[in-house]
Structure 1
């Protein structure tokens, strides 16, 4: 100030304002004259763009969207989908990082002799996309961990707290059942505890509620005229909890239930009561009722490995009153059966509520203590080893073992059973050698009793859900399977209705009681939305169709 040259200030708008004010005060003291200080957010943003304007002048970058390293154009600075619906990110900008990425992914460097050649970027992008899509996210995390490939998994919000780096730093805490960032920065001598806010709705909730109630009051006045003494005790005033629920629904973007809307929400479970599908539905039921303000009914429609109930929902009225809660079988059945009464295109995936890893178990008398030992034992036999499946031909356990046999290069004989109990009994009695299924209390009891042996978990790396059990991926790299439990709706349902139901389901899955109940029944609570769920369905359909075709699997 006071010279012909403008002052040099920091790169952020706020810093520019502070420095500008200080300079103006000093100039006012020196000259006795004041002046207007002008600094805005755009100035801070433009300061950060100084390097880019230099690069543009030098021809190093262009103005077309998607043609540069920093705007998604460069394949080595991008995000990619994986086989399980997860995502990963790479930022291998420097040459040695880029070379390390290609080497570990086994992509020939000759594909892109010069990584700065923009004409080669589409070819490299496709190669990277195909490579990452071939395996689940956990596989790439294990392969690239600790390398110079500048790689990182893209985590959903419910995964962040469990990430080893975040857990070691205690970066997230849980206060009153709500996971949230811990106080930062952290001090060794005077650690800060979590800050609890006041009871009741916060500022945002109060503003939303006040706005909603004012709108309702204006609407009421327009219809009924000035308020009289009787109107001061409307149903909304008599029930504060109803006001709070309305505000919560509005804040979440969910529709408040109309007083005359008595249509229940029906969750169709296509398997008998008592199974995991049933347990997941029951865990969600009370939370959905509270969020939607309508009755939620769990309706059992078992038969044909889940096809009966699935077909009923697929052909049902697309009005948002009926959902399907099923597992991987919902996409496998149309691939393997002649007529299931529906196709996956008839259903709209909404939310995956929970997952459970598959485990490989064998008879305790079998001379194998791990997956490698089972594979070696199978190769020494003159006849194929017999294995059980829970649910018969086309079940997840059946296809999982067929994939296991294919990747291990061994011959196995399929012996179908009607359910998990009979299949596990067949293994413990020695009728068959092994089975791949989800872990439950009954199975744990047989393992502890020494009647069966737990060989491995179908994951690329160890999982806390099955502590102490080695991953099958140690023997068969990339072998990772899990059972998922998701909710779907008729495909022709209005997208706006689907969006509201998806929001309600995700909100329910964010509550501590629902997550605790899911953990109790032996599954891992997740909250995978419609886009990632659809991606998982598409990829699994492709993967299982390949196994079915190669292994010549068919259901009469």
Structure 2
């Protein structure tokens, strides 16, 4: 997978790997390959014999567009899209001592001092949480300064130290909410989290934006249909297990199952969206100074 050890995605697939062995009697060995295109390249080069899987999502699509298609594989057509597994809850957080108790408070403060408020995200300029926040600021008629970070841990640290005003982060920020150090104002998700039913979504507040971060599994191009069905059905069974659902819930992820056909269709629709994002935020490598 293209995620480092210790993160939520890594922990999720390791937990599912434990249940996978119980259900099937076969081991699911996790091989972390973080870095630009490393994991996707290894998956593309693997034999389509059903023994090698990988995590698929938006990362390889964005990289493909940033490099103007100069990858040895197509980010959609050269993979077998087996099933989407989860999506994460992302929220808008401020320090617990902040005077802002709501999103409307943030908007009011931003209008009072245009361009003075800062917000951090973990996926860089043009990343999956920067784009919806830009859409939010435009819809709200405000200006805020984006500060990109390498990961949630870095952005959370800067927020708790008072270096920035707010962040968009995943469930890794919730322990700081529980500890009384951060305050969650709203979810950038399609629905409220059942664990925090009183926290609204930006969509409910009149700003139809959200962080779209499906994480699924796939394989090399040309996998046999029976292998695809086996994994598709097995992971669907895993997602129906109370133990797995409880783990996802505890880590502020939600079940977002798509079968192979639906996952492939999503990827096909998403690729031109990634191209538009790369163009809008000038992420094309040939155009960078």
Fold agreement, TM-score > 0.5: yes
1:371 corresponds in structure 2 to: 103
Cα gap change, 1:505/1:364 in structure 2, threshold over 3 Å: closer, same or farther? closer
CA contact (8 A) 1:308 1:340 kept: no
- Looking at structure 2, the residues matched to 270 and 547 of structure 1 have their Cα atoms a distance apart, in angstroms, of 21
C-alpha change, 1:362 and 1:334, in structure 2 (3 Å) is farther
Does the alignment pair 1:351 with 2:58? no
2:260 — aligned with what?
530
CA distance in 2, matches of 1:465, 1:341: 43
8 Å contact from structure 2 (residues 95, 183) kept in 1: yes
**What are the Cα deviations for residues 509-539 of structure 1, in whole angstroms up to 9, with x where unaligned?**
3333333333343322343211222233233
CA shift for structure 1 position 362: 2.3
- 1:288 equivalent in structure 2: 20
Q: 1:543 to 1:366 in 2, by over 3 A?
A: farther
Alignment partner, residue 237 of structure 2? 507
User: C-alpha separation between the residues in 1 aligned to 2:155 and 2:179?
Assistant: 17
Gap regions ≥5 residues in structure 1? 1-268
Which residue pairs with 1:380 in the alignment?
Answer: 112
How far the C-alpha of 1:458 sits from its partner, in A, is 1.4
Q: Which structure has the bigger radius of gyration?
A: 1
Select 1:303's aligned residue among 22, 25, 35. Answer: 35
Corresponding residue to 1:446 among 163, 176, 190: 176
CA contact (8 A) 1:283 1:518 kept: no
Select the residue among 197, 221, 238 that pairs with 1:467.
197
Supply the distance in 2 between the matched residues of 1:340 and 1:527 (Cα, whole angstroms): 28
Q: Structure 1 297/448 Cα, relative in aligned 2: closer, same or farther at 3 Å? A: closer
User: How many residues of Structure 1 are paired with residues of Structure 2 in the alignment?
Assistant: 284
Change (3 A) 1:390 1:550: same
Measured against aligned partners, the alpha-carbon deviations of 1:8-36 in whole angstroms (never above 9, x if no partner) come to: xxxxxxxxxxxxxxxxxxxxxxxxxxxxx
**Aligned: 1:541 with 2:271:** yes
The DSSP-based 3-state class of the residue aligned with 2:270 is: helix
Q: How far apart, CA to CA, are the structure 1 residues paired with 2:137 and 2:126?
A: 15
The runs of 4+ residues in structure 1 deviating greater than 6 Å are none
More helix by share: 1
Distance in 2 of aligned mates of 1:387 and 1:432: 6
CA RMSD of aligned residues (A): 2.7
2:209 alignment partner in structure 1: 479
> Structure 1 residues 504, 493: closer, same or farther in 2, change over 3 A?
same
Deviations 1:306-365 (A, max 9, x none): x21122112322221111125543433333455565423222221122222211112445
Distance of 2:113 and 2:66 partners within structure 1: 30
Query: Alpha-carbon deviations, 1:36-65, whole Å to 9, x = none?
Result: xxxxxxxxxxxxxxxxxxxxxxxxxxxxxx
TM normalised by structure 2 equals: 0.84
Shift of the alpha carbon at 1:299?
0.7
Deviation at 1:473, TM superposition (A): 1.1
Which residues in structure 2 correspond to 1:12-411 (within 5 Å)?
269-304=1-36, 307-337=37-67, 342=73, 343-364=75-96, 366-411=98-143
CA distance 1:411–1:347, shift in 2 (3 Å): farther
Query: d(CA) in 1 for partners of 2:96 and 2:150?
Result: 22
* Structure-1-length-normalised TM-score: 0.46
Q: How big is each residue's C-alpha offset from its partner over 1:79-137, in whole Å with a ceiling of 9 and x where there is no partner?
A: xxxxxxxxxxxxxxxxxxxxxxxxxxxxxxxxxxxxxxxxxxxxxxxxxxxxxxxxxxx
Contact 2:129 2:211 in 1 (8 A): no
Deviations 1:473-514 (A, max 9, x none): 133343233433211111232333222322222233333333
Higher relative contact order, structure no. (Cα contacts within 8 Å, ≥ 6 residues apart): 2
Q: 2 CA distance for matches of 1:552 and 1:366?
A: 33
2-side partners of 1:469 and 1:273: how far apart? 30
Residue of structure 2 equivalent to 1:424 = 156
The alignment partner of 1:345 has SS state of coil
SS at match of 1:297: coil
SS of the residue 1:351 aligns to: strand
C-alpha separation between the residues in 2 aligned to 1:367 and 1:311? 47
Cα distance change, pair 531–406 in 1 and its aligned pair in 2 (3 A): farther
Query: Residue 451 of structure 1: CA displacement?
Result: 3.3
**How big is the shift at 1:449?**
4.3
Number of the residue aligned with 1:517: 247
CA separation of 1:359/1:385 partners in 2, compared to 1, >3 Å: closer, same or farther? same
- Paired with 1:274 and 1:344, the residues of 2 have a C-alpha distance of 27
Whether the aligned pair in 2 keeps the contact of 1:317 and 1:490 (CA below 8 Å) is: yes
